[in-house]
């Protein structure tokens, strides 16, 4: 089942939902918990489906996105920053993990 999980959506949703919960509740730890739950789910899927190297690489992308969102937020605002880093994170997840699913689902004739 985890082989079909679209981690690009999970990762982006985790960043957006985590920030939304933090803003909505006023609790940064609760927002962090939401984000961590999505992130750990992604890491589990990547490690099982794509291997440790991909899991490590995409985890670093997610952590960098989280950190950079704070810096970028000073320039463009918090929500635009979160949406931007979420989109970039989703792209990396798609490129390095999820796109392989689509290719394998299409079968060997799709590349002909």
CA quadruple 26, 27, 32, 38: dihedral sign:
negative
pLDDT in tens, 6-44: 999 999 999 999 999 999 999 999 999 999 999 999 999
Residue 43: CB atoms within 10 A of its CB come to: 18
HEC profile of 43-57 = HHHHHHHCCHHHHHH
Instruction: Quote the pTM value.
Output: 0.87
Three-class SS state of 38: helix
Domain spans in the chain, listed from the N-terminal domain onward: 2-97
pLDDT in tens, 40-73: 999 999 999 999 999 999 999 999 999 999 999 9
């Amino acid at each position: 089942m985890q082989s079909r999980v679209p981690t690009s959506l999970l990762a982006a949703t985790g960043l957006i939902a985590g920030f939304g919960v933090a803003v909505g509740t006023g609790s940064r730890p609760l927002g962090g918990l939401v984000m961590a739950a999505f992130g750990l789910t992604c890491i589990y899927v990547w490690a099982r489906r794509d291997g440790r190297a991909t899991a490590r690489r995409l985890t670093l992308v997610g952590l960098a996105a989280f950190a950079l969102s704070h810096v970028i937020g000073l320039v463009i605002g918090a929500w635009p920053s979160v949406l931007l880093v979420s989109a970039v994170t989703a792209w990396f997840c798609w490129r390095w993990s999820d796109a392989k699913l689509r290719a394998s689902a299409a079968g060997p004739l799709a590349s002909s």
